[in-house]
Structure formats: C-alpha cells, structure tokens
Amino acid sequence: NSGLEGGTTVALKGRVPVRVIGAVRKGQNLIAGPRGCATASVYHSNEVFAIALEANSDTSEKLVEALIL
C-alpha cells in the first residue's frame, strides 16, 4: 500500500510501525487499545496481535516497530 492515496494503510503480517500508547519494552506483546492504537500486554492474553521490536519509555502515543503475527 505504499502508493495508496487517500486510503487506509493495512498490514496483514510482517515488520511494520504500530501506533502504541504507553511505555513498551522490546519483546513485549501488543494488544488492541483505545483510539486505534496498541498497548503493551503485561499478562498472558489471547488478544495479542504483535510483538514489539524496540523499547520506548514515552507514555504518550508514538510509533513502535513491531512484528505483526
């Protein structure tokens, strides 16, 4: 979808930037969160859709490289 104009970019699988709210550690599971963003999952969850490939201690919304499962 790199040439897409005026549409929504979608990733089905692979290494992509993901909007994350809250601090995240490398290797931490990501689950769906508020406002279309992901949040780091501390406990085992069946809702995991990605794994963070980098750490970021910023608690606001940011892009984090992740592996979509």
pLDDT of residue 42: 72
Query: How far is Cα of residue 16 from the mean position of the Cα atoms in its chain?
Result: 8
Residue written as token pair 């929504």 = 8
pLDDT of residue 66: 96
Task: Quick: pLDDT tens for 3-27.
Answer: 777 777 777 788 999 999 999 999 9
Distance in angstroms (rounded) separating the CA atoms of residues 48 and 41:
8
Q: Is 57 in contact with 23 (CB distance < 8 Å)?
A: yes
Distance in angstroms (rounded) separating the CA atoms of residues 43 and 4:
36
Q: Is 68 in contact with 17 (CB distance < 8 Å)?
A: no
Percentage, residues of the chain above pLDDT 70: 94
For the entire predicted model, the pTM comes to 0.80
